Amino acid sequence: MQCRRLFLLGAVLCACFFMPLRLCGQTARFSLAEENTFLPGRLEAGLNAAYHFSKLKSPSNITLLNHSISVNAYGGFWLTRWLMVGGEYSQSFTKPEVALMQDLHLSEVGGLIKINFTPDTFPSQYIMLGVGRKMWEYQIQLADKQTGNLLYYRLALGVEGSSFTHLLWGAQWRLTYTPETEMGHFVRQSSKWENALSLYLALRF
Protein backbone atom coordinates (compact mmCIF):
# COMPACT_ATOMS: atom_id res chain seq x y z
CA MET A 1 0.00 0.00 0.00
CA GLN A 2 2.79 2.41 0.90
CA CYS A 3 4.55 1.60 -2.36
CA ARG A 4 1.39 2.47 -4.31
CA ARG A 5 1.10 5.79 -2.50
CA LEU A 6 4.70 6.65 -3.31
CA PHE A 7 4.21 5.88 -7.00
CA LEU A 8 1.00 7.94 -6.93
CA LEU A 9 3.00 10.81 -5.46
CA GLY A 10 5.51 10.39 -8.25
CA ALA A 11 2.74 10.47 -10.87
CA VAL A 12 1.34 13.69 -9.40
CA LEU A 13 4.79 15.29 -9.37
CA CYS A 14 5.36 14.23 -12.98
CA ALA A 15 2.05 15.83 -13.97
CA CYS A 16 2.99 19.05 -12.20
CA PHE A 17 6.42 18.95 -13.82
CA PHE A 18 5.11 18.78 -17.37
CA MET A 19 2.22 21.23 -16.90
CA PRO A 20 2.90 24.77 -18.15
CA LEU A 21 3.91 27.08 -15.32
CA ARG A 22 1.23 29.73 -15.86
CA LEU A 23 -0.46 29.94 -12.48
CA CYS A 24 0.60 33.54 -12.10
CA GLY A 25 0.18 34.62 -15.68
CA GLN A 26 2.71 34.32 -18.42
CA THR A 27 6.01 32.72 -17.36
CA ALA A 28 8.73 35.26 -16.73
CA ARG A 29 11.64 34.97 -19.18
CA PHE A 30 15.27 35.72 -18.58
CA SER A 31 17.05 38.13 -20.83
CA LEU A 32 20.21 36.16 -21.58
CA ALA A 33 22.01 39.31 -22.64
CA GLU A 34 21.41 40.83 -19.19
CA GLU A 35 21.34 37.85 -16.83
CA ASN A 36 23.84 35.63 -18.69
CA THR A 37 22.69 32.78 -16.44
CA PHE A 38 22.30 29.81 -18.77
CA LEU A 39 25.15 30.37 -21.21
CA PRO A 40 27.20 27.28 -22.14
CA GLY A 41 30.65 26.61 -20.78
CA ARG A 42 29.64 27.13 -17.16
CA LEU A 43 30.52 25.09 -14.08
CA GLU A 44 27.82 24.20 -11.56
CA ALA A 45 28.30 22.91 -8.01
CA GLY A 46 25.66 22.37 -5.37
CA LEU A 47 24.57 20.83 -2.09
CA ASN A 48 21.20 19.26 -1.37
CA ALA A 49 19.39 17.51 1.44
CA ALA A 50 17.14 14.56 0.58
CA TYR A 51 14.51 12.55 2.44
CA HIS A 52 14.49 8.91 1.31
CA PHE A 53 11.32 6.82 1.52
CA SER A 54 13.21 3.54 1.84
CA LYS A 55 13.13 0.59 4.20
CA LEU A 56 15.76 -1.92 5.18
CA LYS A 57 14.63 -5.29 6.54
CA SER A 58 16.16 -8.42 7.97
CA PRO A 59 15.78 -11.87 6.36
CA SER A 60 13.00 -12.53 8.91
CA ASN A 61 11.19 -9.37 7.69
CA ILE A 62 11.98 -7.23 10.74
CA THR A 63 12.15 -3.52 9.84
CA LEU A 64 15.64 -2.24 10.56
CA LEU A 65 15.33 1.21 8.95
CA ASN A 66 12.19 3.12 7.99
CA HIS A 67 13.73 6.11 6.22
CA SER A 68 16.94 8.06 5.87
CA ILE A 69 18.18 11.60 5.27
CA SER A 70 21.18 12.27 3.06
CA VAL A 71 23.40 15.20 2.12
CA ASN A 72 24.52 15.26 -1.49
CA ALA A 73 27.28 17.20 -3.24
CA TYR A 74 27.36 17.39 -7.00
CA GLY A 75 29.20 19.21 -9.76
CA GLY A 76 29.05 19.41 -13.50
CA PHE A 77 29.97 21.23 -16.69
CA TRP A 78 27.38 22.70 -19.07
CA LEU A 79 28.25 21.61 -22.59
CA THR A 80 25.31 23.57 -24.00
CA ARG A 81 22.54 25.72 -22.53
CA TRP A 82 20.46 22.58 -21.98
CA LEU A 83 22.96 19.76 -21.32
CA MET A 84 25.24 19.26 -18.29
CA VAL A 85 27.47 16.27 -17.45
CA GLY A 86 28.95 15.69 -14.02
CA GLY A 87 29.11 13.56 -10.90
CA GLU A 88 27.72 13.35 -7.39
CA TYR A 89 28.46 11.97 -3.93
CA SER A 90 26.03 11.54 -1.05
CA GLN A 91 26.25 10.46 2.58
CA SER A 92 23.19 9.22 4.49
CA PHE A 93 22.40 9.84 8.14
CA THR A 94 20.49 6.89 9.55
CA LYS A 95 19.02 5.69 12.82
CA PRO A 96 18.30 1.94 12.89
CA GLU A 97 14.99 0.90 14.42
CA VAL A 98 16.53 -1.93 16.47
CA ALA A 99 19.52 -1.97 18.78
CA LEU A 100 20.70 -5.18 17.14
CA MET A 101 22.08 -3.15 14.21
CA GLN A 102 25.03 -0.89 14.89
CA ASP A 103 27.18 1.49 12.85
CA LEU A 104 25.07 1.62 9.69
CA HIS A 105 26.71 3.73 6.96
CA LEU A 106 25.22 4.37 3.51
CA SER A 107 26.79 6.44 0.73
CA GLU A 108 26.57 6.84 -3.04
CA VAL A 109 28.90 7.92 -5.83
CA GLY A 110 27.99 8.20 -9.49
CA GLY A 111 27.79 10.13 -12.72
CA LEU A 112 24.90 12.23 -13.97
CA ILE A 113 23.46 13.99 -16.99
CA LYS A 114 21.20 17.02 -16.51
CA ILE A 115 18.90 18.13 -19.32
CA ASN A 116 17.25 21.54 -18.93
CA PHE A 117 14.06 21.66 -21.00
CA THR A 118 13.34 25.36 -20.38
CA PRO A 119 16.63 27.25 -19.94
CA ASP A 120 15.00 30.59 -20.81
CA THR A 121 12.19 30.47 -18.25
CA PHE A 122 11.86 31.09 -14.55
CA PRO A 123 11.61 28.66 -12.91
CA SER A 124 13.20 26.14 -15.28
CA GLN A 125 12.31 22.46 -15.57
CA TYR A 126 14.84 19.69 -16.02
CA ILE A 127 15.38 15.95 -15.97
CA MET A 128 18.43 14.24 -14.50
CA LEU A 129 19.72 10.76 -15.33
CA GLY A 130 22.33 9.02 -13.20
CA VAL A 131 24.14 5.74 -12.63
CA GLY A 132 26.52 4.77 -9.85
CA ARG A 133 27.24 2.59 -6.85
CA LYS A 134 25.57 2.56 -3.44
CA MET A 135 28.06 1.63 -0.73
CA TRP A 136 26.95 0.14 2.57
CA GLU A 137 28.58 -0.92 5.81
CA TYR A 138 27.00 -2.13 9.03
CA GLN A 139 27.65 -4.13 12.16
CA ILE A 140 25.26 -6.67 13.65
CA GLN A 141 25.79 -7.73 17.27
CA LEU A 142 27.73 -11.00 17.58
CA ALA A 143 28.45 -11.01 13.82
CA ASP A 144 31.19 -9.86 11.49
CA LYS A 145 31.07 -6.40 9.89
CA GLN A 146 29.33 -6.44 6.51
CA THR A 147 30.42 -4.22 3.60
CA GLY A 148 29.59 -4.04 -0.09
CA ASN A 149 27.98 -1.99 -2.83
CA LEU A 150 25.02 -2.07 -5.20
CA LEU A 151 24.57 -0.71 -8.71
CA TYR A 152 21.85 1.94 -9.06
CA TYR A 153 20.09 3.80 -11.87
CA ARG A 154 18.36 7.12 -11.19
CA LEU A 155 15.76 9.35 -12.78
CA ALA A 156 15.06 12.78 -11.29
CA LEU A 157 12.61 15.52 -12.18
CA GLY A 158 13.34 19.00 -10.91
CA VAL A 159 12.40 22.66 -10.90
CA GLU A 160 14.95 25.38 -10.19
CA GLY A 161 15.19 29.14 -10.21
CA SER A 162 17.65 31.94 -9.57
CA SER A 163 16.99 34.98 -7.39
CA PHE A 164 20.57 36.24 -7.41
CA THR A 165 23.39 36.17 -9.92
CA HIS A 166 25.09 32.75 -9.95
CA LEU A 167 22.91 31.37 -7.10
CA LEU A 168 20.37 28.65 -7.89
CA TRP A 169 17.74 27.02 -5.71
CA GLY A 170 15.49 24.10 -6.53
CA ALA A 171 13.49 21.02 -5.63
CA GLN A 172 13.78 17.52 -7.00
CA TRP A 173 11.92 14.20 -7.00
CA ARG A 174 14.10 11.13 -7.49
CA LEU A 175 13.28 7.58 -8.46
CA THR A 176 16.17 5.15 -7.93
CA TYR A 177 16.30 1.55 -9.12
CA THR A 178 18.72 -1.06 -7.77
CA PRO A 179 18.69 -4.44 -9.59
CA GLU A 180 19.84 -6.21 -6.41
CA THR A 181 18.38 -5.76 -2.92
CA GLU A 182 20.58 -7.99 -0.75
CA MET A 183 23.05 -6.13 1.48
CA GLY A 184 25.15 -8.87 3.00
CA HIS A 185 23.79 -11.74 5.08
CA PHE A 186 21.55 -9.77 7.43
CA VAL A 187 20.01 -6.84 5.56
CA ARG A 188 17.98 -6.32 2.38
CA GLN A 189 16.14 -3.44 0.78
CA SER A 190 12.38 -3.87 0.96
CA SER A 191 12.05 -2.88 -2.72
CA LYS A 192 14.19 -2.38 -5.81
CA TRP A 193 12.61 1.09 -6.15
CA GLU A 194 13.26 4.08 -3.92
CA ASN A 195 11.57 7.49 -3.86
CA ALA A 196 13.23 10.60 -2.48
CA LEU A 197 12.48 14.33 -2.27
CA SER A 198 15.25 16.90 -2.06
CA LEU A 199 15.90 20.64 -1.80
CA TYR A 200 19.16 22.20 -2.91
CA LEU A 201 21.28 25.29 -3.44
CA ALA A 202 23.90 25.60 -6.15
CA LEU A 203 26.35 28.02 -7.70
CA ARG A 204 26.91 28.43 -11.43
CA PHE A 205 30.11 30.21 -12.45
Number of helices (H) and strands (E) in the chain: give both, helices first: 2, 14
CB 202 within 8 A of CB 38: no
DSSP H or E stretch at residue 32: helix 32-35
Mean pLDDT computed over 75-104: 88
Q: Please indicate, yes or no, if residue 9 is contained in any of the structural domains.
A: no
Mean pLDDT computed over 73-85: 94
The pLDDT, as a whole number, for residue 41 is: 55
pTM summary value: 0.80
Average of per-residue pLDDT values in the chain = 82
Question: Bigger pLDDT: 96 or 179?
Answer: 179
Q: Give the separation between CA 179 and CA 1, rounded to whole angstroms.
A: 21
Q: Please indicate, yes or no, if residue 178 is contained in any of the structural domains.
A: yes
Q: 3-12, 27-36, 122-131, 146-155: lowest mean pLDDT where? A: 27-36
Q: Please indicate, yes or no, if residue 49 is contained in any of the structural domains.
A: yes
Q: Please indicate, yes or no, if residue 21 is contained in any of the structural domains.
A: no
CATH number of the domain within which 153 lies: 2.40.160.20
Q: Please indicate, yes or no, if residue 24 is contained in any of the structural domains.
A: no
The pLDDT, as a whole number, for residue 196 is: 96
Residue 115 pLDDT exceeds 70: yes
The whole domain housing 162 covers: 44-204
* Closest CA relative to residue 153, chosen from 129, 136, 182: 129
Question: What is the full DSSP assignment across 89-136?
Answer: EEEEE---SSTTEEEEEEEEEEEEEEEES-TTEESEEEEEEEEEEEEE
Percent of the chain with pLDDT over 70: 80
Q: How far is CA 21 from CA 82, 122, 173, in A?
A: 18, 9, 17
Number of domain units in the chain: 1
